[in-house]
Amino acid sequence: MPGISDSVADHRRVVAVSPLFGGKALKGPADRVLEGLGLPKGNAGVVAAYEGLLSDLVVDTGDAHDRHDLSGPDLRVHVADTRIADPARAKEFGQWLLDVLSN
């Protein structure tokens, strides 16, 4: 969408939480959309989709093994349990993310 990339690029830190688990979306078509756009599979495709915009990417603990394969200028990759099934877990994850970003 016009203007969104420019707006996002103006921020010092831009964070994405990967919607993928083992390369597949838990819900929705994210993995298929990445493939349809000709982007790499898995979290490498997430990084490519936001090329030049991300400062931080959070991947699920199940994908921790491939975090070293993700690259980008100054990209920081964080690993956490991103399966959020209830409000208490959402609060816990949100606090964890705020702590990560304050460093």
Q: How far apart are CA 53 and CA 15, in angstroms?
A: 9
Domain that holds residue 56: 4-101
Q: What is the mean pLDDT of the chain?
A: 90
pLDDT, tens only, 31-64: 999 999 999 999 999 999 988 889 999 999 999 9
**CATH assignment at residue 38:** 3.40.50.10680
pTM, entire model: 0.88
Nearest to residue 20, comparing CAs of 102, 83, 69? 83
Number of domains present in the structure of the chain: 1
44: CB partners within 8 A, 6+ apart: 66, 69, 70
Output the pLDDT for position 1: 61
